[in-house]
A and B are shown apart, each in its own frame.
Chain A
Amino acid sequence: MSLAELQSGFIASLRTPSAAAPESLAAPAGMRPNRRFNVYRNNVVVSLIEALRSSFPVVERLVGEEFFKATARAYIDHEPPRSPLMFQYGETFGSFLDAFPPAASVPYLGDVARLEFARLTAYHAQDRAAIALTHLSTLPPEQLGGAEFQLHPSLTLLTSRWPVFSLWAASSEQQSAQDVNLDTGEDVIVIRPEYDVDVRCLPSGGYGFLRALQGGASLGEAAEQATQTTENFNLAHHLEGLFGLGAVCAVELRNSKQ
């Protein structure tokens, strides 16, 4: 048997829980080594469940250990990792949960998973120094409208029709998420300017404003859009919050970009 055939057969058995041990294995004392082979099957699944548990502790708390394990098992089967970097595993866990029928009664679970994955991504993201709000006052005022912001590499924005921040915060502080009023959605910013990952609920209009900046809109364009879609959009207030979080790393003036 070629090495290629042997490894394909090994993986086919590994991925099928009901399958017998592969033909390529020696049979000590004439016995098919099913229990022995199962050690590998078990190691793979258990280690991946552990990886997901450590990446999605709040999802686990929301649904309980048993339900989480069963869900993780289904996800692992559906989408095994494609990289040996375990902290990157689970990027699609949120969308898997959205469409996972047994979790239908917990419709916000996918959004909570996306928030937890954003935290993990922020933790391992590129480091970069932020600039202070006072930097803006050093720029020619007439050019500020055309300024483009470079946001921090660790930053992720999330929008949810559920109160995803409140649900996450209540569960991560070991309180019950049951008291959270599910009527209103929340927008969230996740960022790690220094050692600690910061998760904040965005004020009204903040998500659209930051999305525009992130997409390369100038400060003037982003503020204009936000003013049209958000009542009483207070630009100064939003900028203070943004710089306060360490979210801006550089400001480029358009006419000096060549």
Chain B
Amino acid sequence: MDTPAKTSSAVPPRAGVGLKAAHYTPILEQHPDIGWFEIHAENYMGAGGPPHRYLEAIRRDYPLSLHGVGLSIGADKPLDQDHLIRLKRLNERYQPGLFSEHLAWSTHDEFFFNDLLPVPYTQEALARCADHIDQVQETLGRQMLLENPSTYVTFEDSSMSEIEFLRSLSERTGCGLLLDVNNVFVSATNHGYSPEDYLDAFPIERVGEIHLGGHARDQDDAGAPLLIDAHDRAVADPVWMLYARVIGRSGNLPTLIEWDNELPSWQELFAEAQAADAILLQDPPEQQHVAR
């Protein structure tokens, strides 16, 4: 079989955006200078049709990152083997440079609750998540990245911090981490801790990708601010500041702009990616003041 010429699989340490059907045409027509695209795996699990045709065309020109939203790694019950096989096939077909999933659960009994539900940070949950990550990495034959969640509640039973939990999982399974800086800001605000302290303590050497997205504002039961991980608007200023702090510590990393709801035009989304690139690609510190 002919294999169409493909761009290298490796996702570069630049900005990318989440690929949306509404943007297929402008991307193929304008061929924008952007590092890579991320796809939600579940949107490409149909047998055929336009989603695959467009994705094939885009993959010829850009590296991809495969991001699952439905595997339910934090569920007590076993992973859905059919779903795991579908992921394996997508991984083989599109050869993404990165594969990631969430520290969350979304299935229970036979039902799927289309959201990322919170995991208690207990030894039992740690063991279960580690088993599931082992299975995923074995089936796909590659390393996965695990993403830190946005949370609105915490559990009585939690016996370790989120960072301890993520670090232990990464050490036990060899998985990398996906650091969602907006999720850090959302969770830190919601639970009243310092996002800077969290980021400074994060095992940065294990991070393979960064997410940036927009959040909405609400209030909790006591009238305190409650931020919602809505992915429906531009990245907020404090999140950009935290991002620059992370990059200062980690060096350049592949960085995704996540915008899933209330979709912007392609131009607006591309501008967000360029804003991230401006932070990533800026001159080394000693030359900075000279140039501007």
Contacts and interface: CB of A to CB of B under 8 A. Distances in A.
Secondary structure type dominating chain A contacts: helix
Contact of A125 (B47, B80, B111): B47
B49 A51 contact: no
Contacts of B286: none
Given A39-B228, A40-B152, A124 B113 contact: no
A118 to B, nearest CB: 13
Interface stretch (A83-91, A96-104, A105-113, A246-254): A83-91
Interface in A1-31: 1-4, 6-8, 10-11, 14, 21, 23-26, 28-29, 31
A50 B231 CA distance: 14
Candidate in B43, B108, B191, B228 with the most chain A CB atoms within 10 angstroms = B108
Contacts of B46: 85, 87, 123-125
B219 interface: yes
Contacts, number: 142
B2 interface: no
Interface stretch (B29-37, B116-124, B250-258): B116-124
Given A3-B76, A7-B76, A44-B114, A26 B154 contact: yes
Contacts of B138: none
B118 to A, nearest CB: 8
A39 B108 contact: no
A125 B108 contact: no
A3 B128 contact: yes
B112 A82 contact: yes
Interface string B150-192: 0011111110000000000000000000000000000000111
Contact of B218 (A25, A39, A122): A39
Contacts of B153: 21, 25-26, 33, 36-37, 40
B71 to A, nearest CB: 8
Interface in B70-115: 70-72, 75-76, 80, 83, 105-115
A11 B107 CA distance: 9
Interface residues of B, number: 55
B69 interface: yes
Contacts of A34: 221
B47 A40 contact: no
A238 interface: no
A32 interface: yes
B48 A25 contact: no
Given A24-B156, A43-B115, A126 B48 contact: yes
Contacts of A8: 108
A74 to B, nearest CB: 16
B269 interface: no
A44 B117 CA distance: 10
B221 A86 contact: no
B119 to A, nearest CB: 9
Contacts of A195: 50, 53
Interface of B: 42-43, 45-53, 69-72, 75-76, 80, 83, 105-115, 117-118, 120, 122, 124-125, 128, 152-158, 190-192, 218-222, 226, 228, 261
Top 9 closest pairs, chain A to chain B, by CB: A84-B70, A124-B46, A127-B48, A126-B47, A43-B115, A3-B76, A39-B152, A80-B111, A26-B154
